[in-house]
Amino acid sequence: MSQEASQDFSLGKVQVASSPQERFDEYLQSKGKRTTQQRRALVECVFEEHDHFDADELLEMISRHAEGAGVSRATVYRTLDELVEAGLLRKMDLGGRAVYEHDYGYPQHDHLYCQLCRKLIEFRSEELMAIRDAVAAKHSFRVTGHRLIVSGVCEECSHKRHRRHSPLDLI
């Protein structure tokens, strides 16, 4: 078996006790805040599928939802901050752009980031976790998590950059 075939970089599953909406409701209640229809619509939109997004992309997504018609830009930014604080989303700074991803219900994982097309590729590596834990143990360090973003150029963008020029390019 090849080394590539023996390595599985998939994320796997994490069991959670409550839905993201229930968890967010509990967070808001603990802060003395109300669960509004706009917040509910944003949580529903964010957790429909797992994807990375920025605030502008969320605004675009929510505008396509019937319940999201009245959600303002300020509400989106405020709710994103609350979702991060509640432990439901993770915020990453990629090239000066704030990008969000699901944190609740997803295992520890890392990313490859294409600097040209901005694609994020998620992966999980047991070898990387073992190195992290060994270094932490050597320094009597208690690990609570980590974040690794490897920057570079994805295969698709690399092919575009290195494509041979053809006489048809002059037309």
List all residues 6 or more positions away from 142 whose beta carbon is below 8 Å from its beta carbon: 136
Compute the mean pLDDT over every residue in the chain, rounded to the nearest whole number: 85
Q: Model-level pTM?
A: 0.76
Q: Is the pLDDT of residue 11 over 90?
A: no
**Shared-domain flag, residues 122 and 96:** no
What would the 3-class secondary structure string for the chain be?
Answer: CCHHHHCCCCCCCCCCCCCHHHHHHHHHHHCCCCCCHHHHHHHHHHCCCCCCECHHHHHHHHHCCHHHCCCCHHHHHHHHHHHHHCCCEEEEEECCEEEEEECCCCCCCEEEEECCCCCEEEECCHHHHHHHHHHHHHCCCCCCCCCCEEEECCHHHHHHHCCCCCHHHHC
Last residue of a domain, one of 81, 104, 127: 104
The whole domain housing 66 covers: 16-104
**82 vs 167: which has the higher pLDDT:** 82
Number of domains in the chain: 2
**Is 110 known to sit in a ligand binding site?**
yes
**Is 114 known to sit in a ligand binding site?**
yes
* Residue 54 tokens, joined: 């920025």
**Shared-domain flag, residues 96 and 48:** yes
**Shared-domain flag, residues 137 and 69:** no
Q: What is the mean pLDDT of residues 105-111?
A: 84
**Is 117 known to sit in a ligand binding site?**
yes
CATH of the domain at 41: 1.10.10.10
pLDDT, tens digit, 9 for 90 and up, residues 25-65: 999 999 999 999 999 999 999 998 888 999 999 999 898 87
**Is 56 known to sit in a ligand binding site?**
no
**Shared-domain flag, residues 20 and 33:** yes
**Shared-domain flag, residues 29 and 97:** yes
Last residue of a domain, one of 74, 104, 134: 104
Confidence at 68, pLDDT banded by 50, 70, 90: low
**Is 45 known to sit in a ligand binding site?**
no
**Shared-domain flag, residues 28 and 87:** yes
* Residue 35 tokens, joined: 């669960």
What pLDDT, on a 0 to 100 scale, did the predictor assign at position 1? Answer: 37
List all residues 6 or more positions away from 15 whose beta carbon is below 8 Å from its beta carbon: none
Last residue of a domain, one of 75, 104, 133: 104
Q: What is the mean pLDDT of residues 165-170?
A: 60
Q: Is the pLDDT of residue 128 over 70?
A: yes
